[in-house]
Amino acid sequence: MSEYIIEMNHIRKEFPGIVANDDITLQLRKGEIHALLGENGAGKSTLMSVLFGLYQPEAGEIKKDGQVVKINNPNDATALGIGMVHQHFKLIDVFTVLDNIILGAETTGALGFLKKKEAREKVLALSEKYGLKVDVDAKVEDITVGMQQRVEILKMLYRDNEILIFDEPTAVLTPQEIDELMAIMKGFAKEGKSILFITHKLNEIMAVSDRVTVLRKGKYIGTVNTKDTNKQELSNMMVGRPVQLELDKKDATPGEVVLKVEGLTVPSKIHKNNAVNDVSFEVRAGEILCIAGIDGNGQTELIYGLTGLEKATAGTITLCGKDISKASIRERALSGMSHIPEDRHKHGLVLSYTLEQNMVLQKYKEPRFQNHGFIKFGEVRQYAEKLIKDYDVRSGQGPVTVARAMSGGNQQKAIIARELDREEPLLVAVQPTRGLDVGAIEHIHNQIVAERDKGHAVLLVSLELEEVMGLSDRILVIYEGEIVGEVDPKQTTPEELGLYMSGAKRQGKGVE
């Protein structure tokens, strides 16, 4: 019996123009929780796709229990007992939980009828044994995201998988749910199951894993025992240079009110209730106010109502002393609001436009960039080149790169460059670091703090608890379209925030 249940030795996988995996070795012991850490594009997903049989490596071998195996497709992987919880769940919304779990592994009787009763008993037994609470008869569309994840886990257990891969499993969970998941994972490991845990969140790695393998830009950096390392060392390994984990920021010195929102109500497009219901708050110059909450609790609609992308049915918005409740999107922007949108592909960029065209998305009408309606291409080029230089936006062909061809991180950098350079008194930043890696996040956080220190007001919407706690000066928690609490990040704990975020706790109405 080999020491390792799965070994991936010297894996090399190339794509046209790039080596996604260059001599990577990953060894998973039986019964351990092994974290796979790396930035976006480090090659984690490619490596897992190789293990799952979606790609064939150019070099290297995969061993199961010391025997070399060939994994040609996902069915081979399943046969070897490898199961995976994908970051984006692969569930059928209109099927019940039970149907989703047995889908693809149905047991049938002589005439091809489903043996659902046996399946149900097996699922219930597994659910009981591991504390994975699910309602087997509920439709997937009606259950919470946390329960959907438990369904995914049950799918693996139902197939008697021994090797469980979790791909960024905590991205969609509340702090309480994350704790539960960690406990479940530890339970699996104790049972003798082996877990590969893909993540970029250092806290979780420290909390749950036994060993960590770090990848960077397609290369194997090293494998360390979790108990012999710390967050700082891991992040340095991941990024390749010393990273400052704790934001170095001075206390806020709030000035006058820049944005005042009173009784804002925005209808929902999905259900009959209001997505944002009677929300009031203020943001002052020189402070970062964060709206925290679990995804889908009205943050998006709140920002749409604020920026004019959607019509508010009630409430007033005052920006720099001017009532902009009825103003157009452009008027609001010109009244002093810059906006880093939540969805950079939907709102932030015209992907088929070049980088320079995107850089002047709001500014093209300024006299500087046009003369009697004719665009001054020279000026646009110069301005774009300046932003690219100042904000270190990297792209293949500089200003004439088509936005679609840029990496996600650089697309976001381009948007941030464009918005910060407008130097407006209010910056609305919605999930400004979504999908970015540690190095980029550090950079963007520093820029947002610098913006605050210049005396601008910052309204931040974030789903990342670490970001909420680290970056903001004041936190408002939104739950089902209402502000349920205001807390001071210096005095609160993630647990308390989690209670507000899940609706378990709320302060009295009329919170300012």
Query: In angstroms, what is the minimal distance from the CB of 367 to another protein?
Result: 11
**CB distance 54 to 43 below 8 Å:** no
Q: Measured from the CB of residue 189, what is the shortest distance to another protein in angstroms?
A: 25
Chain CA centroid to CA 181, Å: 17
Whichever of 84 and 264 has its CB closer to another protein, that residue is: 84
Query: Measured from the CB atom, is 158 or 353 closer to another protein?
Result: 353
Closer CB to another protein, residue 14 or residue 233? Answer: 14
| Cα gap 378→376, rounded to integer Å | 6
Nearer to another protein, 257 or 309 (CB): 309
Closest approach of another protein to the CB of residue 330, in Å: 3
Closer of 342 and 473 to another protein (Cβ): 342
The answer to whether 245 and 233 have CB atoms below 8 angstroms apart is no
Q: Toward another protein, which CB reaches closer, 62 or 349?
A: 349
- In the 8-state DSSP scheme, what is residue 223? E
Buried b or exposed e, range 3-36, using 16+ CB within 10 angstroms = ebbbbbbebbbeeeeebbbbebebbbbbbbbbbb
CB of 420 to another protein, least distance (A): 16
Task: Catalog residues that contact another protein under the rule CB under 8 A.
Answer: 15-18, 20, 40-41, 43, 45-46, 48-49, 307, 309, 328-331, 333-334, 339, 341, 346-354, 356-357, 361-362, 364-365, 370, 373-375, 377, 395-397, 400-402, 404-408
Cα 288 to chain centroid, rounded: 21
CA–CA separation, 107 and 321 (whole Å): 68
Name the minimum Å distance from CB 15 to another protein.
Answer: 5
Based on CB atoms, which residue is closest to another protein, 253 or 397?
Answer: 397
User: Residue 310 corresponds to which tokens in the numbers above?
Assistant: 């959607």
From residue 131, give the alpha-carbon distance in Å to each of 96, 134, 183, 349. Answer: 19, 9, 10, 44
Give the 3-state secondary structure of 264-291: EEEECCCCCCEEEEEEEEEEECCCEEEE
The side-by-side arrangement of strands in the sheet containing 337-340 is 337-340, 426-430, 457-462, 288-292, 474-479, 482-487
Q: Are 457 and 258 in contact (CB under 8 A)?
A: yes
Closest to another protein by CB, 149 or 358: 358
Of 105, 3, 8, residue with least CA distance to 49: 8
CB of 375 to another protein, least distance (A): 6
Query: Among residues 200, 302, 315, which one has the least CA distance to residue 262?
Result: 315
Between 101 and 355, CB nearer to another protein: 355
Nearer residue to another protein within complex by CB, 52 or 500: 52
- H or E segment and range at residue 306: helix 299-307
Q: How far is the CB of 351 from another protein (least distance, A)?
A: 7
Q: Give bridge partners of residue 274 from the DSSP assignment.
A: 267
Q: How far is the CB of 37 from another protein (least distance, A)?
A: 16
Q: How far is the CB of 373 from another protein (least distance, A)?
A: 5
**Minimum Å distance from CB 54 to another protein?**
8
